[in-house]
Amino acid sequence: MIEIRGLIKRFDGKAVTRNAVDNIDLTVPEGQLVTLLGPSGCGKTTTLRLIAGLERPDAGEIRIGGKVVYSSDDNVYVGVHQRPIGVVFQSYAVWPHMTAIQNVMFPLRSGQKKLPVPEARAKAMEALDLVGLADLADRPAPALSGGQQQRISLARALTREPEVLLLDEPLSNLDKGLRDRVRDEIRAVQQRLGITTVFVTHDQDEALAVSDEVILMEYGQIVERGPAQQIYARPRSEFTARFMGISNSMPGTVTACSDDLVDITLPHGTLRCVAAGDLVEGHQVNVFIRPESLSLSRKDTTGLGWKGTVEFSIYHGDCWDYHVRVGDTLLRSRIYKEKVGLSHGDPVFVSPDQETAIAIPVGTPAANAGTPPLAGTATAG
């Protein structure tokens, strides 16, 4: 388990000093994989480096496995090599003059607690087997693919059987095919070992695929947190909705409320949808709808469709993305398993799925959001 309380890290810029990590509280339950997600400069990588001991906080407390590894109040600071962690970085950090197994053995043969070669080799082989590379143990590192080298880094991080695994953008240097495979390997290994893990990424798809919980950050603070399904389907702020890829947004006015459902008047029609937060009649909102929640038809069989015109389409292999002009609004609809494609200028009717549409009050601030960076401010991811 990782417990963080009141964590602050400041960086001095040319013009101002800004908190890269701004008084955050965070608990990572034992055996869970928690992802720190957000844009560049939001503080996610700095938070991970503070947990690792690679950066020293300015205030707060960090506990790993119940042990205090940093406390500003009690003047405690445990160095990185004394923390029960394994770290995998964005770069593979594989030594080119060594074989795969020599790379994995290195931390077991260095430092004060050197293991004998036979014991170190046995542990390294266990780690290589865990990531599916035991048959490549004696291959020179430069002969390995990027994905294999990153798995070597993962195996090396696991050799000392750490209590916590920290992964800093571990997939960003891989192409898409490799990225997906290594992502799946990481999740499989984490679940097999039940190791407490913090995963840092700016990629929403990665976060949703591997996480028990997603923590969305901006300006050094936690904007929103929850299970991946909740963050994806029920965002609570405009920042979360936009960052998680909800590309359709429309301004509207609340006309009626019932439990967590609201009726919204939009420029081109009405819609009942889910309310994010407390809304009352007359509230101005932005309605967010995912592309896959908009269906298209040539005829309005329900009488509730919005009349529009196809402007252009994009084929993805498993689906079509249609950009449809409805009044002054351009909406994107993603259609799977369509037999007949629509063309530019085709008239269509757009039908939204009210169960997945979200109404968020206009200008809803990100939870605990701070002030955005100023010119000349130093930031860290």
Read off φ and ψ for residue 238, nearest 5 degrees.
Answer: -65, -40
Give me the pLDDT at residue 378, please.
Answer: 38
- Same domain, yes or no, for 65 and 109? yes
Per-residue pLDDT reduced to its tens digit, 274-332: 988 788 888 899 999 999 999 998 888 777 889 999 999 988 888 889 999 998 899 99
Tell me the CATH number at 343: 2.40.50.140
Q: Is residue 245 part of a domain?
A: no
- Same domain, yes or no, for 180 and 127? yes
Q: How many CB atoms lie within 10 A of CB 280?
A: 9
| Distance from C-alpha of 289 to C-alpha of 291, rounded to nearest angstrom | 6
Decide if pLDDT at 44 tops 90: yes
Residues 6+ apart with CB under 8 A from 160: 86, 107, 108
Q: Which two tokens stand for residue 170?
A: 């571990």
Residues 6+ apart with CB under 8 A from 289: 246, 248, 249, 250, 331, 352, 353, 356, 357, 358
Give me the pLDDT at residue 199, please.
Answer: 96
Decide if pLDDT at 361 tops 70: yes
- Same domain, yes or no, for 279 and 221? no
Q: Which of 47-61, 153-167, 363-377 has the highest mean pLDDT?
A: 47-61
Q: Which of 12-16, 137-141, 195-199, 373-377 has the lowest mean pLDDT?
A: 373-377
- Same domain, yes or no, for 19 and 163? yes
As a whole number, the mean pLDDT across the chain is 87
Give me the pLDDT at residue 13, please.
Answer: 62
What is the bridge-based pairing of β-strands 85-88 and 164-168? parallel
Tell me the CATH number at 58: 3.40.50.300
More confident residue, 377 or 105: 105
Give me the pLDDT at residue 364, please.
Answer: 61
DSSP string computed for 49-101: HHHHTSS--SEEEEEETTEEEEETTTTEE--GGGSSEEEE-SS----TTSBHH
| Distance from C-alpha of 223 to C-alpha of 349, rounded to nearest angstrom | 36
DSSP string computed for 219-236: TTEEEEEE-HHHHHHS--
Domain span including residue 102:
2-233
Give me the pLDDT at residue 317, please.
Answer: 82
- Same domain, yes or no, for 334 and 207? no
Q: Is residue 242 part of a domain?
A: no
Q: Is residue 244 part of a domain?
A: no
| Distance from C-alpha of 343 to C-alpha of 351, rounded to nearest angstrom | 18
pLDDT band of 340, cuts 50, 70, 90: low
pLDDT band of 15, cuts 50, 70, 90: low
Average pLDDT over residues 51-61: 94
Give me the pLDDT at residue 379, please.
Answer: 42
Decide if pLDDT at 377 tops 70: no
**CA 292 to chain CA mean position, Å:** 21
Per-residue pLDDT reduced to its tens digit, 224-233: 999 999 999 8
- Same domain, yes or no, for 216 and 269? no
Decide if pLDDT at 173 tops 90: no
Q: Is residue 251 part of a domain?
A: no
Q: Is residue 107 part of a domain?
A: yes
- Same domain, yes or no, for 9 and 104? yes
- Same domain, yes or no, for 312 and 202? no
| Distance from C-alpha of 187 to C-alpha of 33, rounded to nearest angstrom | 8
- Same domain, yes or no, for 176 and 223? yes
Q: Which two tokens stand for residue 367?
A: 């939870």
- Same domain, yes or no, for 12 and 104? yes
Q: Which two tokens stand for residue 69?
A: 């590894």
Decide if pLDDT at 215 tops 90: yes
- If one counts the domains in the chain, the total is 2
| Distance from C-alpha of 333 to C-alpha of 325, rounded to nearest angstrom | 11
Per-residue pLDDT reduced to its tens digit, 178-208: 888 888 888 998 999 999 999 999 999 999 9
CA dihedral 56, 57, 61, 64 (to 10 degrees): -40
More confident residue, 11 or 365: 11
- Same domain, yes or no, for 224 and 265? no
**How far is the first Cα of the chain from the last one, in angstroms, to the nearest whole number?**
23
Decide if pLDDT at 221 tops 90: yes
| Distance from C-alpha of 326 to C-alpha of 98, rounded to nearest angstrom | 61
Q: Which two tokens stand for residue 212?
A: 């028990």
- Same domain, yes or no, for 12 and 159? yes
